[in-house]
């Protein structure tokens, strides 16, 4: 079952975030607390959203998709940026990832959004192959940039 996350799902989502970070060899970089995630997802006007995959037999959350709304000046329409998608290894192969992405695609279509986009680590071949099987393709011409930490603070102080 795919559904919007509820406040009760926050501990499971944080565990899944940590599972994703461990898979991506970046567990030490996770700073997110349950309190921070709850505030981000369930404030009066949230800027980030989450859908979860719940195992119908066990009732536990086995996957998640965290996303936010973007805007394309070229399309003149909003879109969805998928920040993270993760399904527990023990639950993979049962269609949860596909259903999470299909739900976000349905939101795009229903709201008139022009795109659903995300990033994949260059070494994550299984994920890239999965996305290609859904009809997605890499955006070779765009290179993501990021500013964080001390550099972010220094830029803000200029």
Catalytic (active-site) positions: 131
Helix (H, G, I), strand (E, B) or coil at 123: coil
Taking alpha carbons only, the member of 78, 67, 15 closest to residue 41 is: 67
Q: How many residues does the structure list for the chain? A: 158
Query: Which helix H or strand E contains 130, and what residues bound it?
Result: helix 125-133
Tokens found for residue 145: 């940039």
Residues 6+ apart with CB under 8 A from 148: none
């Amino acid at each position: 079952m795919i559904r919007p996350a509820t406040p009760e799902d926050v501990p499971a989502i944080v565990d899944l975030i940590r599972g994703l970070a461990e898979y991506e060899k970046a567990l030490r970089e996770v700073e997110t607390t349950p309190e921070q995630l709850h505030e981000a997802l369930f404030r009066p006007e949230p800027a980030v959203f989450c859908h979860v995959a719940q195992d119908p037999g066990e009732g536990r959350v086995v996957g998640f998709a965290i996303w936010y709304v973007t805007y394309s000046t070229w399309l003149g329409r909003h879109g969805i940026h998928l920040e993270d998608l993760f399904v527990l290894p023990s639950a993979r192969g049962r269609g949860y990832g596909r259903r999470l992405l299909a739900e976000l695609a349905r939101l795009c279509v229903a709201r008139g959004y022009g795109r659903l986009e995300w990033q994949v680590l260059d070494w994550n071949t299984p994920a890239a192959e999965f996305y290609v099987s859904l009809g997605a393709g890499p955006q070779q011409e765009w290179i993501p940039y990021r500013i964080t930490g001390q550099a972010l603070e220094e830029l803000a102080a200029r």
